[in-house]
Chains A and B, each alone.
Chain A
């Protein structure tokens, strides 16, 4: 089965600082990869998804960007964090229609 590695687990960053969250996948090749954000402990909002290397689709215009430099690597970035970027970020892999999630990164922007 697929294993999703996501780090760090928690992160506290000042407003205006950069961000880089990394997600890597084991156990499959050419997966569809996703970044979701969960605010206030409820509801997952799709941020980005990727069907292959270098292919990124953005669902919500915002302060974040994503990149997929390798088949099993998906990175979420920001050049300057805002307070509103705080939340719980989840990386997901969909393989054969089923979704598997990483353990998430809890980001607090102060």
Chain B
């Protein structure tokens, strides 16, 4: 099956800093999503982005499908951005396969 690798596994930022999270996947996909899991465990859908670039406020994402990677950018980070960020991919009608996540801690 598809393998998903996320980097870095852990990241500590000062409030106001920018960061880039990476997701590599092993096969072509037709579905790629980024999620944020808050400290209470709730998973929030950030982007559906199998290709191209999207922006939502301080967050943006880019997927280069031909090179099998996606990037999530967080600008001017805030303490509320803390949590775990997951990348998940699927090919055809297969279920979403998740990476192990990047744990982000933003300190004031």
Chain A residues in the interface with B (C-beta under 8 A): 32, 34, 36, 38, 41-44, 46, 49, 59, 88, 90, 92, 94, 97-101, 103-104, 106
**Residue pair A49, B95 in contact (C-beta under 8 Å):** yes
Picked from A41, A46, A98, A106, the residue with its CB within 8 Å of the CB of B97 is A46
A100 to B97, CA, bound (A): 14
17 pairs of residues in contact across A and B, judged by CB atoms under 8 Å: A32-B95, A34-B95, A42-B84, A42-B103, A43-B98, A43-B101, A44-B88, A88-B41, A90-B41, A90-B43, A92-B43, A97-B31, A100-B45, A101-B43, A101-B45, A103-B42, A106-B41
What distance in Å separates the Cβ of B23 from its nearest Cβ neighbour in chain A? 13
**Residue pair B33, A99 in contact (C-beta under 8 Å):** yes
What distance in Å separates the Cβ of B65 from its nearest Cβ neighbour in chain A? 15
Across-interface contacts of A43 in B (CB, < 8 A): 98-101
Q: A36-B98, A43-B99 are in contact. List 11 more A-B contacts (CB 8 A).
A: A43-B100, A46-B95, A46-B96, A90-B43, A97-B48, A99-B88, A99-B96, A101-B35, A101-B43, A101-B45, A104-B42
Across-interface contacts of B101 in A (CB, < 8 A): 42-43
B interface majority secondary structure: strand
With contacts A42-B100, A42-B101, A43-B100 known, is A101 near B95, CB below 8 A? no
- With both beta carbons as reference points, the residue of chain A lying nearest to B97 in the complex is identified as A46
